Amino acid sequence: MLPEKDPRKQGEKDPKEDPSVTLFREYLRIKTVQPEPDYDTAVKFLERIASELDLPCQKVEVCPGRVITILTWKGTKPQLRSILLNSHTDVVPVFEEFWHHDPFAAFKDSEGNIFARGAQDMKCVSIQYIEAIRRLKAEGRRFPRTIHMSFVPDEEIGGYKGMQMFVKRPEFATLNVGFALDEGLANPTDTFTVFYGEKCPWWIKVKVEGNPGHGSRFIENTAAEKMHRVITSFLEFREREKQRLKSEKHLTLGDVTSLNLTMLNGGISFNVVPSEMSAAFDIRIPPTVDLKAFEEQVTAWCRAAGEGVTYEFHQKYTDQSMTSTEESDPWWKAFSTTCRNMNMKLKCEIFPAATDSRYIRAAGHPAIGFSPMNRTPVLLHDHNEFLNEQVFLRGIEIYAQLISALANVPQLQAEA
């Protein structure tokens, strides 16, 4: 890691810097990094923002130490379903030796690139929501629909003690959500990527039992031989999906099933043939795939490897809800029309991984994954994650327009 040359990296304000950028950098410096995020400081930061914006702030502790923070701008017709602007407060770990700058200093270079963990995923969006609301309130705007900003923990480790629990709580029900925005991805081209669905993450551990013995002998029916068959079946499928993605140009990563061998365990000594081995696979399945048929395929692969081969799920998400992108849908029409009016080119895709949007959709609410970061390399979870301040500022304007359009969607028939 290189020494810093930014005299304001520890929080001194630059009078020439846009206040929204200054706030963004302040938020980035809060070390909400897994596995021990500083959530308390983040919540205090959000409480301060709520006070600045004169918005009520609700805190819901879904389990010990895991608080959902909600800022609410009440609409003129609060009986209508609300708009939910969701973001998560935690960020993934870093390997500091690979970073050019301190990943929690929010260093800004001479080109306006802000380097920090969370710059893209997704503290940028949190502050863009906040600053868009600040701008709209300063303009004296009011909207029929209530707008909620939710800031949730633990998304980066599955959301099990965050959004997954929150959507089952009465506090979530009282939000009366009609439509939600959540995180997306950067796009290196002029296009903005929009996500209307997500893959189902399946984490499968395959256990294999076989005959043990001395390492000098040709033991029959060993665990290693069976494991070889298992791995071959799984990875041959992986190669087929990989080639399908390459050969069918209209497909994106979200359209194919990704599969990776992520852990392999077994053995006690160089000269002992083990009686048991295990392999872990991370599988991400598009919502267009028949999940029952896919599990039957997994069962067949294990059965074909021989006796004593079993598998268990460490994660098995099965909800395949997708949000409509038809122009007849009033929510999508408001979103897409607003983007067109700003000359934004959209590309609709299935999200290749998993975000908290899946829990919102599973609860019966349409949700779009969208981060307004075009002309930006995809660097979430990567070294030297950054976002340019001009892209960030443009995102505030985009969200201001989108929030205005969505909060003004006329009363729907279901709300009559």
Longest pairwise C-alpha distance within the chain: 82
pLDDT value of position 13: 66
pLDDT value of position 12: 58
Structural element, H or E, at residue 193: strand 192-198
Q: Which of 191, 183, 154 is nearest to 85 (CA)?
A: 183
The conformation of residue 409, written as its DSSP 8-state character, comes to P
Q: Which residues pair with 346 in a beta bridge?
A: 192
What's the CA angle centered on 122, arms 120 and 125, to 5 degrees? 95
Q: Which residues have CB under 8 Å from 175's CB, separation 6+? A: 70, 82, 84, 148, 150
Q: Which amino acid is at 120?
A: Q
Q: What is the 3-state secondary structure (H, E, C) of 43-56?
A: HHHHHHHHHHHCCC
Residue located via tokens 């979530």: 172
pLDDT value of position 8: 46
Q: Which residues are catalytic?
A: 90, 155
CB 185 within 8 A of CB 370: no
What's the CA angle centered on 383, arms 153 and 246, to 5 degrees? 95
Annotated binding site: 88, 121, 156, 183, 381
pLDDT value of position 414: 86
Q: Could you tell me the fold of the domain covering 19-198+322-415?
A: Aminopeptidase (3.40.630)
CB 126 within 8 A of CB 399: no
Distance CA 408, CA 416 (A): 16
Annotated binding site for Zn(2+): 88, 121, 156, 183, 381
CB 207 within 8 A of CB 312: yes
Cα torsion 377, 382, 385, 391: sign: positive
Distance CA 134, CA 126 (A): 12
CB 206 within 8 A of CB 281: yes
Distance CA 383, CA 381 (A): 7
| pLDDT per residue of the chain (416 residues) written in tens, 0 to 9 | 444 444 444 445 677 899 999 999 999 999 999 999 999 999 999 999 999 999 999 999 999 999 999 999 999 999 999 999 999 999 999 999 999 999 999 999 999 999 999 999 999 999 999 999 999 999 999 999 999 999 999 999 999 999 999 999 999 999 999 999 999 999 999 999 999 999 999 999 999 999 999 999 999 999 999 999 999 999 999 999 999 999 999 999 999 999 999 999 999 999 999 999 999 999 999 999 999 999 999 999 999 999 999 999 999 999 999 999 999 999 999 999 999 999 999 999 999 988 999 999 999 999 999 999 999 999 999 999 999 999 999 999 999 999 999 999 999 988 87
Q: Which residues have CB under 8 Å from 333's CB, separation 6+? A: 327
CB 151 within 8 A of CB 67: no
Q: Which residues have CB under 8 Å from 18's CB, separation 6+? A: 389, 393
CB 346 within 8 A of CB 305: no
Threshold 0.85, pTM exceeds: yes
Residue 33 to residues 91, 94, 351, 360: CA-CA distances in angstroms? 5, 8, 23, 24
- Tokens describing residue 158: 């599955």
pLDDT value of position 363: 97
Residue 22 to residues 113, 256, 261, 328, 394: CA-CA distances in angstroms? 13, 40, 42, 40, 15
Note the CATH number of domain 200-316.
Answer: 3.30.70.360
Distance CA 141, CA 138 (A): 8
Could you tell me the residue ranges of all domains in the chain?
19-198+322-415, 200-316
Identical fold for domains 19-198+322-415 and 200-316, yes or no, is no
